Amino acid sequence: MSVQSPRQVLVTGVTSGIGRALAVQLVAHGRAVWGVARRRDELERLQQELGANFHYSAADLTRPETPGQLMQALSRAQFAPDAVVLNAGIFPHDTGDTFDFSVAAAVLATNLTGALALVAAFLPQFLQRRFGQFVAVSSLFALRPDRLGVGYAASKAGLSMAFRSLEVRYRERSVRFKLMVFGPIATAGY
């Protein structure tokens, strides 16, 4: 079976950095993109910039109701993504004079738990269609410790291992789990 090129793509963390750049490139290449991010004002600006092939939902992936609400919005719009890019991520420092567990927990909720909740939401559709791609944006911090961000390194290591395991489990059923592992990238705020 040949691998199909996705026509409709959902991208999380779409209002800045890698997610924004990816959405711009996908739309420029004729793909329909559904962007997900927390900042509605930035989503509206991006929609004005990209036009009719960009749709969006303002949502917080750390909230348990988000996957269900997102699936309902996509269904109403008859938008069935062929690929889901799990890019949303935060990287606040959780170590200093001491370890701030609340910051680390917020990082894990966004970077790992929120991503896996979307996998759980979309996987049944992909399995039924026998086609679909999940792409997780990871980091070199998945492979080495970071003295400033315990939660960030842990979240990226967890996401990377989860995707490796999911790929092994579902590759026979034509659903792909891919990792993009980046090194340092200069984005706004860093």
Chain position carrying tokens 């200093």: 96
Q: How far apart are CA 67 and CA 120, in angstroms?
A: 9
Bigger pLDDT: 141 or 157? 157
d(CA 75, CA 129): 15
Per-residue pLDDT tens digits for 124-150: 999 999 999 999 999 888 888 888 889
Torsional sign, CA 54, 59, 61, 64? negative
Which of the 8 DSSP states describes residue 142?
G
- Lowest average pLDDT, out of 34-38, 97-101, 179-183, goes to 179-183
Short-list 188, 97, 88, 185, CA closest to 141: 185
Residue 184 above 90 pLDDT? Answer: no
User: Which residues belong to the active site?
Assistant: 152
Structure confidence at residue 94 as a pLDDT band (50, 70, 90): very high
Handedness of CA 7, 12, 16, 18 (dihedral sign): negative
Residue 187 CB: number of other CB atoms within 10 A?
13
For every residue of 40-100, DSSP letters joined together read HHHHHHHHHHHGGGEEEEE--TTSTTHHHHHHHHHHHTT---SEEEE--------BSSSB-
The answer, yes or no, to whether residue 182 has pLDDT greater than 90, is no
- 187 pLDDT band (50/70/90 cuts)? low
